[in-house]
Amino acid sequence: MARCVVRLQSLLCEPVLLQPYLLGSAVTRHLRRPLPWVASQHRDFHTTRGVFKEAAENSKITIHFINQDGERTTTTATEGESLLDVVVNKNLDFSGFGACEGTLACSTCHLIFDENVFNKLEPLVDEELDMLDLAYGLTDTSRLGCQVFVQKGMDGMTVQVPQKVNDIRKAAESSWKQ
């Protein structure tokens, strides 16, 4: 699903996307992220153009992702991107990742970090915690990928996409049958 994020190239994009900033029903959304990246992207289904603006520094940070099936993918990221940006820009194939496209309206970009990395991340604001609390397979070192931004200190870190609910349920069902 991550590779399938396409913005409809129409004026619809801008008013809809700016609304969380203008309206928010008076809830101040402390969205700590650069300019709304989604507004500037248009991606075909089959191409992988990374449209996210490159940071001034060209340093590439290596990140290892472990997907829902336990498979490992290594990729490089740019400082300042969110981890959701990385998954989308690099076309990492995580089922259903980032459904709300980074607007703190879901918990599908849930990622699990190593404790030493987790402890160095910027603290959570309420809005992230509100959504994180609804995530499947929540752990003590869980964060939402759309709210975690790549920094130099993350070079070589491993993040895990939580195991598919599918697998958990199937395992439960087969053990019940025995």
Partner 1 sequence: MSTCILRAPVSKGFSLQFATTFAKKTSCYGVQRLGSTAAPQPQVCIVGGGPAGFYTAQHLLRSHKGVQVDVFEKLPVPFGLVRFGVAPDHPEVKNVINTFTQTARQDRCGFYGNVTVGSDVTVEELKQAYHAVILSYGAEGSRSLGIPGEELSGVHSAKDFVGWYNGVPGNKDLKPDLSAETAVILGQGNVALDVARILLSPLELLKKTDITAGSLEAITDSRVRRVLIVGRRGPLQVACTIKELREMINLPGTQPALDPRDFQGLREAVQDIPRPRKRLTELLMKAALEKAAGKEAEREWSLRFLRSPTHILPSPDRSRAAGIRLAVTRLEGSGEHARAVLTGEVEEVECGLIVSSIGYQSLPIDPAVPFDLRQAIIPNRMGRVQQAPGLYCSGWVKRGPAGVIATTMNDSFDTACSVLEDMESGQLDTSTPRAGACMLQALLKQRGVTPVSFAGWEKIDAVETARGREVGKPREKLVDVRDMLKVASL
Instruction: List interacting residues with partner 1 (CB under 8 A).
Output: 1, 4-8, 10-12, 15-17, 19-20, 22-23, 25-27, 38, 45, 95-96, 99-101, 103-108, 126-127, 129-131, 133-134, 136, 164-166, 169-170, 173
What residue type is assigned to position 144 of the chain?
A: L
CA distance 90 to 75: 8
Nearer to partner 1, 65 or 78 (CB): 65
> 1 or 51, CB closer to partner 1?
1
Contact, 31 vs 58, CB < 8 A? no
Nearest approach, Cβ of residue 155 and partner 1 (Å): 31
Cβ at position 111, least distance to partner 1 in Å: 15
Instruction: Give me the sign of the Cα torsion angle 8, 14, 110, 105.
Output: negative
- Our CB check for partner 1 shows the closer of 21 and 57 to be 21
Q: Which is nearer to partner 1, 57 or 126 (CB)?
A: 126
Shortest Cβ distance from residue 26 to partner 1 (Å)?
A: 5
Residues in a beta bridge with 149: 82
Q: Taking the complex as a whole, how short is the minimal distance between the CB of residue 112 and partner 1, in angstroms?
A: 16
